[in-house]
Structure 1
Amino acid sequence: MNSLLLAWDAVVAHPLFLIGLTLGVYQLGLTLYERTRMAVLHPLIVSIVVLIGVLLLLGMDYPTYLAAMAPLSLLLAPATVALAVPLYHNLRRIRQFFWPVTISLLVGGTFATGGTILLAWLLGSDFSMLMTLAPKSLTAPIAMMVAEQLGGVAAMAAAFVMYTAVLGALLGPWLLKVGGVTHPAARGMALGLTAHAVGTALALDEGKEAGAFAALAMSLMGIVTALLLPVCVTLWLLL
């Protein structure tokens, strides 16, 4: 009996088992989403819920799981760069909407970041928490870097990014429908600005044009915020 338990523990702790588990859970979520098209069953949401439950049942801590996921984590950067493909194919279309894109980026980005900081400040958050929350609308790698640079907590910033993504996946399409937003470019910009990678994935499901504008919004939001947010915070501290 002891030998069986030891063998089971060895299998469960092996990186290949955990990678296979992660991919299997994601495939389950993808299948459910493709059959129902319900935002609540988005693969990311299903994967998070099921994986947390399975890891708790297995008694596995997060650092062990994170270390096993290193090969998959390495693919995050190439996957992000691959978003340039729909951008390239819709470059002419994007040029036609230069000013609407620029205005949407400035207004949406300012509201997403400034509104978050203001609300957190009104609720009594300290400076570290404010800087952790500030980059919540950026994709995780950029958000963690910006938060750490500003004096926030990178790990918590990643958690807030994930929460924002899940909330965007749940409410974004519904809010756009209620608001009567039907243009692919507008829907893509909104999803990319507010829900970054997950919003871009949702936009890509709606069509290539929506996906291209979502990728553009997510990329520009990350670049502009990473450049301007530290400057704004520095000026704020000097006042």
Structure 2
Amino acid sequence: MMEFIKNSAFFGAMISLIAYEIGLILKKKFKMAIFNPLLISIICVIGVLLIFHIDYDDYNEGGKYISYLLTPATVCLAVPLYEQIHLLKKNLKAVAAGIFSGTLAGLCSILLMAKLFGFDHQEYVTMLPKSITTAIGMGVSEELGGIVTITVAVIIITGVLGNMLAEVVYRIAKIEEPIAKGLGLGTSAHAIGTAKAMELGPVEGAMSSLAIAVAGLLTVVGASVFSGMM
């Protein structure tokens, strides 16, 4: 029976959706940041693969179909931005400055960490796209000679941590402006952070959606420049 399930073209997609649904149930029940649905689903999927000795390639035969939806889902984030376009026009300079400074801070932090922990060049460029959406980050990492699979893992971890810690950070830093909250999440935690921004409000979601696209483009250019610094 297990062999039949493993060989099914839909096994990966099925186990991923079930694991995410478990995450949603736990999130609704306990209402704690640690019960992030994506984090719970990752743990559940890894557990299933380990317990039943299922190869990742077998899982990915079905799981890849969910990955195909990543790019169009990211593009759809333009909808909430369109609905708040008047806010963008009104605060254009502040928004541009916020996204630029956030992107620059992310790249500089990786450079500092790489020097501090003695990364080699390949490890360094692998980490550079950590704060942008997977669809763009994979291409950046591959182009610069990084390890794409590790880049994907780092991007997911960054997004999950951003999603989990955003409200705590905003509370400590006393950040109450919705535009600032949205830009911070989108610039630092890409699509997963944007999911949290949408929970916070429509303005936060719209600004976060904008930040994903602009920060992604800035990181493509910035990563090329920063890659030569180590």
Which of residues 168, 172, 176 in structure 2 aligns to 1:178? 172
Which one has a bigger Cα radius of gyration? 1
Which of residues 17, 20, 24 in structure 2 aligns to 1:23? 17
1:219-238 to 2 correspondences below 5 Å: 219-234=213-228, 236=229
- TM-score normalised by length of structure 2: 0.94
- Give the aligned CA root-mean-square deviation in angstroms: 1.5
* Alignment check: 8 A CA contact 2:107 2:226 kept: no
Q: What SS is found at the alignment partner of 2:72?
A: helix
Displacement of 1:232 in angstroms is 4.5
Which amino acid letter does the alignment assign opposite residue 33 of structure 2? A
Percent sequence identity over matched residues?
Answer: 34
For 1:9, the equivalent position in structure 2 comes to: 3
Q: Does 1:156 align with 2:150?
A: yes
Which of residues 15, 33, 44 in structure 2 aligns to 1:50? 44
For 2:65, the equivalent position in structure 1 comes to: 71
For 1:3, the equivalent position in structure 2 comes to: none
1:1-239 to 2 correspondences below 5 Å: 7-234=1-228, 236=229
Displacement of 1:31 in angstroms is 2.3
What per-residue deviation string (whole Å, max 9, x for no partner) do you get for residues 191-227 of structure 1? 1111111100000111111100111111111011112
Displacement of 1:190 in angstroms is 0.8
Displacement of 1:96 in angstroms is 1.3
Q: Which runs of 5+ in 1 are unaligned?
A: 1-6
Which amino acid letter does the alignment assign opposite residue 170 of structure 2? L
* Alignment check: 8 A CA contact 1:40 1:169 kept: no
The separation in 2 between residues aligned to 1:46 and 1:222, in whole angstroms, is 26
The separation in 2 between residues aligned to 1:211 and 1:101, in whole angstroms, is 14
- TM-score normalised by length of structure 1: 0.91
**Count of residue pairs the alignment pairs up:** 230
* Alignment check: 8 A CA contact 2:107 2:222 kept: no
Change (3 A) 1:216 1:142: same
Determine which structure has greater relative contact order: mean sequence separation of CA pairs < 8 Å that are 6+ residues apart, divided by chain length.
Answer: 2
